[in-house]
Amino acid sequence: MVSEREIWMEAAARADVTQELRAMVAEAEVAVRARRPLCVSQGACCRFDRFGHQLWMSGLEVAWCLRQLPAAPRATEVDDAVHRGDCPFLREGACSVHWARPLGCRAYFCDGAGEGWQEALLESWHGRVRALHERLQVPYRYDEWRRLLRVFAEPA
């Protein structure tokens, strides 16, 4: 039996999926640049528990992000991040995978001026990603970033 992880990784390798998600990333850069949010917290967005937020996405999104990296995080790295309440890719106050970060990270800013437009942008992307799952007939699972990373994590 093929696992969700394998299905998501296979789908994330498709040229049409890459094209669509890259287009969304490009749109994200334009949309965020137009809003000019101020980033002053130096990694606060990656300290989920401390700042009271969560990062949610689909299994396909996580697979696509991980395909851009040399390796998935190890299970112990994900577990340690959960224990600390932050992202396993947070290193010395900054994102160590900034180029491959998920769409949710691209739109989240602690700047209070981001309220409203961030949610609308995220909802738009979420709808498009869900439609992509449906079009590809890929299992849809929307979950917290670290829980999904655990699905992809390399054994300890």
Mean per-residue pLDDT over the chain, rounded: 86
Alpha helices (runs of H) in 68-137, residue ranges in sequence order: 75-84, 103-107, 117-136
From CA 123, how far away is CA 104, in angstroms rounded? Answer: 10
Q: Where are the alpha helices (DSSP H) in 1-144?
A: 4-12, 15-35, 48-51, 59-67, 75-84, 103-107, 117-136
- Predicted confidence (pLDDT) per residue in 69-91, tens digit: 998 999 999 999 999 999 999 98
> Is residue 126 pLDDT above 60, yes or no?
yes
Mean pLDDT of all residues in 87-98: 88
- The model's pTM is 0.86
Token pair 């994200």: residue = 28
- Is residue 61 predicted with pLDDT exceeding 70? yes
Inter-helix orientation angle 15-35/4-12, to 10°: 80
When divided into structural domains, the chain yields a total of: 1
Domain range holding 131? 4-152
